[in-house]
Amino acid sequence: MASHDHPHSHDHHHHEHGHGDSGSGSWVGPDGKVYHSHDGLAPHSHEPIYSPGFFTKRAPPLHTRDFNERAFTIGIGGPVGTGKTALMLALCQFLRDKYSLAAVTNDIFTKEDGEFLVKHGALPEERIRAVETGGCPHAAIREDISINLGPLEELSNLFKADILLCESGGDNLAANFSRELADYIIYIIDVSGGDKIPRKGGPGITQADLLVINKTDLAAAVGADLEVMKRDALRMRDGGPFVFAQVKHGVGIEEIVNHILQDWEATTGKKRR
């Protein structure tokens, strides 16, 4: 297996947070980390990431989790426009007849993704919640997860859920879920960004439980080589699983579901239906 000792740029601060002049301020906490608060999020820090990480050394699921308090939670992350909401819809359609599901979507200033799921009948409307994070989408899935935990726990108890789906707002390759929030992490990219994306690394690519490479039908149009993406995904993920997909056309969905249910069984001790 190839080494990951290639250089990395630390540009994960990919957008302005509006500190200082916005009145939100920053301060050093007792742990020495720089904390800030913005747009309604609780105080949190953005620690530098010095390595893309390794699939085999990713944070394990929390074995002390009480699944009666909150059902098995799948976190779906990835850059803007890669197909996260389409995957949410496809998973709901595939699983809803056999399992009790509920879904939470995240966006910065809109509820569009939640409304998309409602419009397309992914689940009954009362099983879908749309969260407006008001700031960095990755903060709401990693540093300050309370904005998601509340609705997920409520939905889980209301509907005696078997599985919960939580979609992150679109973000960069460093945006990965906290294990406090997601028991199973899916990171989705698409070929339109070019075949270089898997080798760019980042915790989303390397440490998600499953990497989905979407929109493979566009590869020829954008000049992306799927063999290059396969090679680099295998290398960057230490052989960890990935799936080529065309989510809008249903291609790869059954394979994705099998990965999810295999982990659901192993983690919860329940049997698939």
Band of pLDDT at residue 54, cut at 50, 70 and 90: confident
Least trusted range by pLDDT, from 34-38, 40-44, 139-143, 156-160: 40-44
Q: Can you give the pLDDT at residue 230?
A: 98
Range in 10-14, 54-58, 182-186 with the lowest mean pLDDT: 10-14
Q: Residues 73, 181: contact at Cβ < 8 Å?
A: yes
Q: With contact defined as beta carbons under 8 Å apart, do 201 and 4 qualify?
A: yes
What percent of the chain is predicted at pLDDT more than 90? Answer: 71
Closest CA to 149 of 166, 126, 124, 125: 166
pLDDT category at 35 given cuts 50, 70, 90 is low
Give residue 171's Cα distance to chain centre: 9
Which numeric CATH code is attached to 71-268?
A: 3.40.50.300
pLDDT tens figures, 122-155: 999 999 999 999 878 888 998 889 999 999 999 9
Give the pLDDT of residue 138: 83
* Residue 44: pLDDT over 70: no
Residue 53 pLDDT grade (very low, low, confident, very high; cuts 50, 70, 90): confident
Q: List the alpha helices (DSSP H) in the chain.
A: 84-95, 112-119, 146-158, 197-200, 203-207, 219-222, 226-236, 253-268
Ranges of each domain in the chain: 71-268
pLDDT at 3: 39
More confident residue, 229 or 133: 229
Could you read off the pLDDT of 248-271 as tens digits, one per residue? 999 999 999 999 999 999 999 999
pTM: 0.83
Give the list of residues 6+ apart from residue 19 with CB closer than 8 angstroms, or none.
Answer: 25, 26, 36, 38
Nearest to 160 by CA among 189, 127, 182, 191: 127
Higher pLDDT, 24 or 243: 243
